[in-house]
Amino acid sequence: MKQRSRKVEIVEWVATFLGVVAAALILAQQSGDRPAVAGLAISDVRELEQGAKLLDAQRSLPEEVRSAIGLHEEEDEERTVVLKDLRSRIRSGGEKPELYIVAAAIATAEDDRDLALEALDQLSEHPEVLEQFSASVSSLAALARGEPAPHPAVLRTELRGLRASEWLQLRVASRAHERSGRSEDADATRRVAQSNAVAFVERYSILLSVYVTLLGLGVLLVLFWPVIRKHLAKNSLIGLGALPSPFIISSTQRVLVSWFFACLILGSILTALSSLFPGSGDYRALALFTQSLAQGAVALWLIVRLGRPDDDQVPISIPLRLAYGQSVRGIGGLALWTVAGLAIGAIAVASAFALSLMFGADLPESQAALELFADLSNVGSQVAVAIAVTVFAPLFEEILFRGFLYRNLRDMIQPVPAMLVTGILFGIVHLDPAFMFQLSALGAVLCFAYERSGSLLVPIAIHAAWNGAQLLSMLIVAEG
């Protein structure tokens, strides 16, 4: 009888897993088939600008420095490569039509007449965009031909509206001054633009250095993990160890499925309401804040209502292990675990990203919440998104996926398989196929951190720091 019950339990779990996967993939596909929100994504524009911006940063170096490191000989070659890549993007087609205006602005900044006009010619197939940005198109065409821009102020305003960075706006303004015979203004504006490019490179270099350092630390932790594990065991720092789950294991499916479909209903309602305010970033920020808080409240309610015995009066924080514990030992220990988790997470996510490319996935755009954060100009709305991403999401997702789901699964199928299943479900329920591999890898790492530390504060801190770093990266890219 016991053997039969076990088989039935496994069949039910497989059916639940496949049902959630199928529903998530169908909904994600439907989301991907919806018309894109009007306007350009900041990540698209920054990607287009990147080569020319780096080239401009090099030009700002002192003459003697450029000579010493051989940039004089390489500049023409690098400029040729940058413009060749830009030409390939223009000719490949399939771009959002507004992006051709940005491409024409970059070509104009680099004084490539033919390329600028070629980019503008692409707009002939998009008369509505051509009409909307007629002042900018005529100004860029005039600058490309060596003539003064008829609407320089409008051009800069519309470039800003197209998410062009301050650097590109200044470079085009410099070209406009030059075409109008104001050489001093042109030189001054160009120097400001180059300083802007240098500042971006410096900020991005710091960010890249931190990421590379985390990757290196992650490699070391993986290599020396046997030694670290022995040290932890020697000092009786065994994390969760043989602790059984404090929750009702048979309720796991009901809690997970109920939460998933409740979130879908909530998301559908907020999406329908958002259609009443098209283009309102502030409303989208409020919707994200509300959705994150509501999803967390639903998760807690389901765990308390379905996942615990009716007579269990122990505060929920105790079975969830929302305390430092023996393995963490205070704020210093939490910081150490967080850095280690970020390092291993960087390795896992980078590996998952490489794996997704091997399977033919396209380079993903930034996640929607990050794009929203970068697009916002209202500080209050930015704070709302930051709280949703760095407080609500880490806290409530870790309570549900690590504190409840993983604890129950590890009692059923052992820790390592439970980490993998929890990680996959974590990646799937985000309904973002482009990031599913990366999110699944991160989810598994968060399970590992919980398993080894024994404190749910550790994956919460890692998750919060990871999301915070993503927001900071997006802010640096957006500021350009």
For residue 35, the model assigns a pLDDT of: 38
> How many CB atoms sit inside 10 A of residue 13's CB?
16
Distance, in Å, from the CA atom of 346 to the CA atom of 352, rounded to the nearest integer, reads 10
pLDDT at 61 over 80: no
Whole-prediction pTM: 0.85
Quote the mean pLDDT of the chain. Answer: 84
| 73 or 37, which is more confident | 73
Average pLDDT over residues 109-126: 91
263: nearest Cα among 425, 429, 404, 394: 429
Question: Could you write out the three-class secondary structure of the chain?
Answer: CHHHHHHHHHHHHHHHHHHHHHHHHHHHHHHHHCCCCCCCCHHHHHHHHHHHHHHHHHHCCCHHHHHHCCHHHHHHHHHHHHHHHHHHHHHHCCCCHHHHHHHHHHHHHCCCHHHHHHHHHHHHHCHHHHHHCHHHHHHHHHHHCCCCCCCHHHHHHHHHHCCCCHHHHHHHHHHHHHHCCCHHHHHHHHHHHHHHHHHHHHHHHHHHHHHHHHHHHHHHHHHCHHHHHHHHHHCCCCCCCCCCCCCCHHHHHHHHHHHHHHHHHHHHHHHHHHCCCCCCHHHHHHHHHHHHHHHHHHHHHHHHHHCCCCCCCCCCHHHHCCCCCCCCCHHHHHHHHHHHHHHHHHHHHHHHHHHHHHCCCCCCCCCHHHHHHHHCCCHHHHHHHHHHHHHHHHHHHHHHHHHHHHHHHHHHHCHHHHHHHHHHHHHHCCCCHHHHHHHHHHHHHHHHHHHHHCCCHHHHHHHHHHHHHHHHHHHHHHHC
In the chain, what percentage of residues exceed pLDDT 70?
85
* Confidence band for 203, pLDDT divided at 50, 70 and 90: confident
Per residue in 221-266, pLDDT (tens digit) is: 999 989 988 888 777 777 887 788 889 888 888 898 889 888 888 8
Record the tokens describing residue 348, joined without a space: 């896992």
pLDDT of residue 56: 87
265-293 residue pLDDT tens: 888 888 777 777 666 677 888 888 999 99
Cβ atoms < 10 Å from Cβ of 274: 16
Task: Tell me how far apart the alpha carbons of residues 115 and 173 are, in angstroms, rounded to a whole number.
Answer: 18
- Residues contacting 285, CB < 8 A, separation 6+: 372, 376, 378, 381, 382, 384, 385
pLDDT score of 74 = 63
The answer to whether 332 touches 244, Cβ cutoff 8 Å, is no
Average pLDDT rounded to a whole number, residues 377-395: 90
Q: How far apart are CA 431 and CA 228, in angstroms?
A: 36
Q: pLDDT value at position 50?
A: 87
Cα–Cα nearest to 47, from 119, 93, 102, 120: 102
Going by pLDDT thresholds of 50, 70 and 90, the confidence category of residue 6 is: low
Distance between CA 139 and CA 375 in Å, rounded? Answer: 26
Q: Quote the CA–CA distance of 339 and 467 in Å, as a whole number.
A: 14
CA 50, distance to chain mean position in Å, is: 18
- Cα 355 to chain center, whole Å? 18
Q: What tokens does 251 get?
A: 């309720």
| pLDDT-derived band at 327, boundaries 50, 70, 90 | confident
The residues near 258 (Cβ < 8 Å, ≥ 6 apart) are 302, 306
Intra-chain end-to-end CA distance of the chain, in Å: 65
Tell whether the torsion through CA atoms of 228, 233, 236 and 241 is positive or negative: positive
* Residue 388 pLDDT exceeds 90: yes
Q: Return the domain boundaries, the chain.
A: 1-33, 42-201, 236-477
Structure tokens at 93: 């087609």
State residue 468's pLDDT score: 94
